[in-house]
Structure 1
């Protein structure tokens, strides 16, 4: 089990890890060893996620989410498979943790009388400035 919060954990068999060849520097090793990790997590069908967390996670995932609802995370920062695997899982945990935070509801407020007065005064000053920009008589 991968623990996200005190009340949320996902099973390790819900995550699919695939090792692929990483691009970039690495010398002779880069063409021989598959060190990059591609993590797949089926957000749409995960039994571990509550419905509200699932919806927020799908919204947060953006381009990393496929049409089928699978989250793709590629980790290739490190030169070893194990470090990249840990990095991919850590990024998944961080994303899910961010999705567990409920957004604060917006409270509608009214502008104060003073702020309305200031706004109208600046509009009037701006208007007078523009009115003064007429053509100059010869």
Structure 2
């Protein structure tokens, strides 16, 4: 899905702000925290069905404008945080678009059924013999 990255880059908006955490004096001066915004409804990359699936599955991750919002502030550099946020977004989109295979119900084979019934019959005979021997 790396082919996906350049196309996504065109439709993504980034916002940078100051990040907390490690970095010393750098933290107070440089905007390293990255907020990635991706508008699913206006995207040209997905079909209407895919958009609908994404909007349903990602409804908890959408902001009030209906955009997918991902924040990354783990790294000290803005560029690394941009990469991280983009990678996170790709994973989230892949997971949301995944359609599990439909389970096909199967039947128990005649041989397996016969084997089980035979085992039950043998067990029943054993118990009957025990019962008659104790009286």
**Which has the larger Rg?**
2
TM-score (norm 2): 0.66
Match of 1:3 in 2: 3
Distance 1:107 1:69 in 2: 36
Match of 1:105 in 2: 102
Q: Aligned match of 1:75 in 69, 72, 76?
A: 72
Answer yes or no: is 1:37 the counterpart of 2:43.
Answer: no
Distance 2:10 2:46 in 1: 14
Runs (4+) of structure 1 moved beyond 4 Å?
106-110
Contact 2:22 2:76 in 1 (8 A): no
1:84-103 alignment runs, 5 A limit: 84-103=81-100
Distance 1:100 1:30 in 2: 37
TM-score (norm 1): 0.65
Q: Compute the RMSD of aligned alpha carbons.
A: 2.7
**Runs of 5+ in structure 1 lacking a partner?**
115-138
How many equivalent pairs are there?
Answer: 110
Q: Aligned match of 2:22 in 16, 21, 25?
A: 25
